Amino acid sequence: MNATRPSPYRISRREVLQLAGAAAAASVVGVPAIGRAQTREMVIGGAAGHKVFMDPVIPLFEKKYNCKIIYEGTRSLVNLQKMQSNKDKPYLSIVLMDDPVMIMAMEEGLLDRLTADKVPALKKLKPAAIHMDGMWVNYQQPWTGIGYNTDRLKGGVDSWTALWDGKYKGRVVVPSLQNTEGLGVFWMAAHLETGKPLKDAQYETDAAFKKLRALKPNLLTIYTNIPQAFNLLEQGEAWMIGSAFSINTFDRKRKGAPVDLSAPKEGTFAMPSGIAKVKNGPQPELSYQFLNEFLGPEYQKITAELAAALPTHVDAPVPPGMPKSEPFVPDWAFVAKHRKDWVERWDKEMGA
């Protein structure tokens, strides 16, 4: 990505002279010179997978605010690199990134704090959706539970302890800790081993690994590739995926696959869904307007339904099939600090 983007509105000296001549001619014949307002343009960086819910809302915003939105879909770390390399002259105005990556961006001074006077929708967001005093917020709460094959487990899965039940030997699939959704089973393992509430158990790393090692006899495989895991589930070779993303499971369910997602009694987990304003990014007023609309109930209704997620605005309707209780929101700062070590330990202890 170039450090600076060429403006689509840059014109040559020759074109300036031609336009001046045309304007003068129009004046001579008495036709008023109509100066067409230059369309405002703003670039938003997000994940490629976010296009499914960005595509419907961007035209709504463009029409209402007479502007052009360019959406660059890639990965969170790539967006962070763009912000780092263009820190002195940013071209991104808004970014949608995973919460742990937001922490890195905040620590490098790449984000502007959001306040309710600029973004009034913040007043009606769930408190857990606002991070670091407004450095970034969650626009929705995708969640993880236990994905299951509806032909094999017709009643669903009511407890995370089922993953460890001996009658499911060789039928369980879990994500690697390289996958963010893999953190769900990691935290739940700590909770089941210690008996502590999730808010405390999430810091019990040794207990989590002890419980996870006990899961190995039941494992069919550990995955990093989500489609491959769902193929095993849909074909009935795997009966459960713990933990599985809501968006992946409901997307497959809508397409007719025999899968569903349970919200077990011990709880579910909120996954990263951060949005933030890039510090000194172009079009600051338009940025605040977009953030306010995107966090408001109208847009959240659209995005939450398409992403099979819980909205974070208290007035936005909750799509069908969502958990009845609030998903657990982890300490992402703790995750960002220790994730690399956890992945290395996972490879040693779970891969052997």
Confidence (pLDDT) at 321: 86
pLDDT, the chain, mean: 89
Using 50, 70 and 90 to split pLDDT, how confident is the model at 87? very high
**CA-CA distances (angstroms) from residue 335 to 183, 246, 252?**
9, 21, 29
Segment 223-282, tens digit of pLDDT: 999 899 999 999 999 999 999 999 889 989 999 999 999 999 999 999 989 999 999 999
Confidence (pLDDT) at 49: 80
Helix (H) or strand (E) holding 108: none
**CA-CA distances (angstroms) from residue 276 to 113, 166, 287, 297?**
8, 45, 9, 18
Q: Region 303-327: what's the mean pLDDT?
A: 93
Q: Region 323-345: what's the mean pLDDT?
A: 92
Residues 328-350, buried b or exposed e (16+ Cβ, 10 A)? bbbebeebbeebeebeebbeeeb
Residue 83, pLDDT above cutoff 80:
yes
Give the HSE-up count for residue 53: Cα atoms under 13 Å, Cβ half-sphere: 24
Residue 19, pLDDT above cutoff 60:
no
Cα distance between residue 239 and residue 265, in whole Å:
19
Segment 135-174, tens digit of pLDDT: 999 999 999 999 999 999 999 999 999 999 999 999 999 9
Using 50, 70 and 90 to split pLDDT, how confident is the model at 347? very high
Instruction: Provide the phi-psi class of 27: left if phi over 0, else alpha when psi is between -120 and 50, else beta.
Output: alpha
Confidence (pLDDT) at 37: 56
Using 50, 70 and 90 to split pLDDT, how confident is the model at 89? very high
Instruction: Provide the phi-psi class of 28: left if phi over 0, else alpha when psi is between -120 and 50, else beta.
Output: alpha
Residues 96-105, buried b or exposed e (16+ Cβ, 10 A)? bbbbbbbbbb
Q: Region 122-136: what's the mean pLDDT?
A: 95
Instruction: Tell me the sheet residues that pair with 125.
Output: 313
Confidence (pLDDT) at 272: 87
Using 50, 70 and 90 to split pLDDT, how confident is the model at 5? very low
278 CB neighbour count, 10 Å cutoff: 26
Confidence (pLDDT) at 77: 86
Residue pair 90/65 in contact (Cβ under 8 Å)? The answer is: no
Confidence (pLDDT) at 234: 97
